[in-house]
Amino acid sequence: MPGSSLSSRTVLVTGASTGVGVETARRLAGRGATVLMHGRTAEEARAAADMLVATKGVDAERLCTYGADFARLDEIEFLAHKVMAEHPDLNVLVNNAAMAAPERHTVTDDGNEIALQVNFLAPYLLTCLLAPALAGGPGGRVVDVSSSPHGTAPIQWADPHRARRYSRLAAHARSRLTLTVFAADPRVTAVSVHPGASPAQGARHVVRLCDPAVEIVDGAHHDRDARDDLDDLGSLSSLSSLSSLSSLSSLSSLSERVALARVTTENRTTGRPTGLGTQGDVLDRDTGRRTT
């Protein structure tokens, strides 16, 4: 059954060039929302939008495109400022952009383990910078697209970047866990969701959570492999077992120290940061291959 109109909603979907992201953009635009499609590059985002218009019948007027590499935190800050300037009425942020952790320990230019940065620190920074818009109107919310492996690895507070003992699977699970726990942050209304096995299934769940007519439980996690009842949006997946006030406080402290502090060195004249960390490998978040 078709959902209600979303013609009054503006939604930013990160990682909208493929998979769950592009299908989410298609469904949101089909219900009348203005969709801001993010890709790793502006060209990727534009190509995805053109595909939706040419092959899926999406109204081009419903789509806007943006590029930002989540492996570079200065690009996240630039993205947020651009979105706030052009769409101050932003209602929803869908944190969907993600990557699989690489086989070997890889550090970004910002000095962070790459999966932690792309899958959590960058979304955290983007959410904080967009919070004034998201919290400023009725029905504002964040939908964090997580994954079921988030419960398989604890957060190592003493070594959050896993510099001493790196495991690809553990790094990925840890990065997804931090995003899931972040949904409980009180600064914005947020939920997290494991989208399921297919882009179509995942997008259906994400779009429903974007609908202001759907009541959500702030901080809830919805595992769609475990429970696929679309009317059951109050299943918390025992967030009390995933986090506590102390772990959330530690998570916020870690994020603010690592992510936000790095952009305080921005040169306001050029709009670019200075004093970033050691050059590291930059990986494509879809393939995991080194691009530089």
**What is the block-wise mean pLDDT of the chain (292 residues), using blocks of 10 residues?**
82 97 98 98 98 97 98 97 97 96 93 93 95 90 79 62 78 81 82 88 94 89 55 40 44 52 39 32 36 36
- Is residue 43 domain-resident? yes
Q: Report if residue 71 sits inside a domain.
A: yes
Predicted local confidence at residue 227, as pLDDT: 47
pLDDT, residue 127, reads 95
Q: Is residue 5 part of a domain?
A: no
Residue with tokens 């690809």: 168
pTM above 0.85, yes or no: no
Q: Say if residues 131 and 82 touch (Cβ distance below 8 Å).
A: no
* CA–CA gap between residue 226 and residue 104 (Å, rounded): 31
pLDDT of residue 143: 96
On whether residue 260 sits in a domain, the answer given is yes
Q: How far is CA 167 from CA 61, 170, 254, 279, in A?
A: 44, 5, 20, 21
Structural domain includes residue 4? no
Q: Report if residue 278 sits inside a domain.
A: no
Residue 22 lies in domain: 10-273
The verdict on residue 80 lying in a domain is yes
Residue 3 within any structural domain of the chain: no
Q: Are 71 and 282 in contact (CB under 8 A)?
A: yes
pLDDT of amino acid 168: 80
Domain count, the chain: 1
Single-letter code of the amino acid located at 46: R
Looking at residue 46, its pLDDT comes to 98
- The pLDDT assigned to 261 comes to 40
pLDDT value of residue 155: 66
CB 98 within 8 A of CB 145: yes
What's 133's domain CATH number? Answer: 3.40.50.720
- Confidence at residue 157, expressed as pLDDT on a 0 to 100 scale: 63
